[in-house]
């Protein structure tokens, strides 16, 4: 089963006002096995790989079948708020986060702006589909 999800950048962080699309893939072993989660939106973050996959403990070795999708999405928002530069998936983002916060924030704000374009393109496609089906 595949789900699309959207999370909003947490307030009072460089990700504020961002609209980030995710893809959650559940296999037949869910909830005993975590879903795979991947950002579809471009993301510059110490714990997000270039392909959009996340380095997040609850999606790996700390998974519990008691976690639901809301817990996963909340954990991802929390990760945006509090990156873990000691477990980097993106070494450049981790280095900037630790050593050059001004540049890190600038790069994150670029991804926030891209998320608006990305989100609008999805809305345009959805609107086109609705118009096509109405005709």
Q: Tell me which residue has tokens 């909830």.
A: 31
* H helices present in the chain, as ranges: 69-81, 91-99, 101-134
Find the catalytic residue in 6, 23, 40, 55.
Answer: 55
Closest Cα to residue 40, out of 68, 19, 66, 61?
19
121 an active-site residue? no
Separation of alpha carbons 113 and 111, rounded Å: 5
Active site residues: 55
């Amino acid at each position: 089963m595949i789900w699309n999800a959207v999370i909003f950048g947490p307030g009072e962080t460089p990700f504020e006002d961002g609209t980030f699309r995710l893809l959650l893939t559940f296999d037949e072993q869910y909830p005993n096995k975590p879903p795979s989660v991947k950002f579809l939106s471009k993301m510059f973050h110490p714990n997000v790989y270039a392909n959009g996959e996340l380095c997040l403990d609850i999606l790996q070795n700390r998974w519990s079948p008691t976690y639901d999708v809301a817990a996963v999405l909340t954990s991802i928002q929390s990760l945006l708020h509090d990156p873990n530069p000691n477990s980097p998936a993106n070494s450049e983002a981790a280095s900037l986060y630790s050593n050059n916060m001004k540049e890190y924030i600038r790069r994150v704000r670029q991804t926030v702006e891209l998320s608006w374009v990305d989100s609008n393109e999805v809305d345009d496609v959805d609107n086109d589909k609705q118009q096509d089906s109405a005709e």
